[in-house]
Chains A and B, each alone.
Chain A
Amino acid sequence: MAELLRYRDDETVDHPAVTVDAFLDQSNASAVRIEPGDDARDLLPHLERVALVEVNFPAFGDGRGYSSARILREAGYDGELRAVGDVLVDQLAYMRRCGFDAFEPDQQLDKGDVQAAFDRWPEVYQPAADDRTPIWTKRHS
Chain B
Amino acid sequence: MYKYDQYDQAMVDARVEEFRDQARRRLEGKLTEAQFTPLRLKNGLYLQLHAYMLRVAIPYGTLDSRQMHALADIADRYDRGYGHFTTRQNIQYNWIKLEDAADILADLSKVEMHAIQTSGNCIRNISSDHFAGAAADEVVDPRPYAELLRQWSSFHPEFNYLPRKFKIAVIASDTDRAAMRLHDIGIQIVQNDAGELGAAFYVGGGMGRTPMIAPCINDFVPLDRLVTYAEACLRVYNRYGRRDNKYKARIKILVHELGAEEYTRQVEEEFAHLLEQGVEPPFAELERIRTFFEDPLFEADASSDIDRSDPDFALWVDRNTVAHKADGYVSAVISLKPVGGIPGDATAEQMRLMADLAKDYSFDELRVMHTQNIVLPHVRKADLHALWTALDEAGLGAPNLDTVEDIIACPGLDYCSLANARSIPVAQRISERFAKTGKTETLGQLKLKISGCINACGHHHAGHIGILGVDRKGVENYQLLLGGSEAEDVSLAKITGPGFDEHGIVDAVETVTTVYEREREDGERFLDTYRRIGMNPFKEALYG
Contact = CB atoms under 8 A, between A and B. Distances in A.
Interface string B218-258: 00000000010000000100110001000000000000000
Contacts of A66: 157-161, 238
A36 B162 CA distance: 12
A60 B281 contact: no
Interface stretch (A22-30, A48-56, A116-124): A116-124
B155 interface: yes
Nearest to B30: A110
Contacts of A138: 7
Interface string B144-156: 0000000110111
Contacts of A110: 30
Contacts of A126: 151-152, 156-157, 227, 279
A15 interface: no
B157 A63 contact: no
Contacts of A121: 11, 14, 155
B285 interface: yes
A128 B238 CA distance: 15
Given A64-B239, A98-B158, 16 more contacts: A60-B161, A61-B38, A61-B161, A63-B162, A66-B157, A67-B238, A90-B22, A90-B35, A110-B30, A116-B21, A122-B11, A127-B278, A134-B281, A139-B288, A140-B282, A140-B284
B285 A136 contact: yes
Interface residues of A, number: 37
Nearest to A66: B158
A135 interface: yes
A112 to B, nearest CB: 10
Contact of B157 (A60, A62, A98): A98
A95 B8 CA distance: 22
Contacts of A140: 282, 284-285, 288
Nearest to B234: A67
A139 B158 contact: no
A136 B158 contact: no
Interface of B: 5, 7-8, 10-11, 14, 17-18, 21-22, 25, 30, 35, 38-39, 121, 151-152, 154-163, 227, 235, 238-239, 243, 273, 277-279, 281-282, 284-285, 288
B344 to A, nearest CB: 31
Contacts of A120: 14, 17-18
Main secondary structure of the interface of B (DSSP, over half): helix
B35 A60 contact: yes
A74 interface: yes
Contact of B151 (A67, A91, A93, A125): A125
A70 interface: yes
B12 to A, nearest CB: 11
Residue of B121, B154, B156, B157 with highest tally of chain A CB at under 10 A: B157
B281 A136 contact: yes
A91 B155 CA distance: 11
Given A90-B22, A136-B151, A137-B282, A123 B156 contact: no
Contacts of B121: 61, 63
Nearest to A59: B243
B275 to A, nearest CB: 12
B92 to A, nearest CB: 23
Closest 4 CB pairs of A and B: A63-B161, A97-B157, A136-B281, A136-B285
A123 B10 contact: yes
Contact of B154 (A67, A74, A90, A125): A125
B238 A64 contact: yes
A98 B273 CA distance: 16
B158 A67 contact: yes
Contacts of B238: 63-64, 66-67
A7 interface: no
B11 A125 contact: yes
Nearest to B236: A67
A128 B155 CA distance: 11
A77 to B, nearest CB: 14
Contacts of B235: 67
B158 A123 contact: no
Contacts of B22: 90
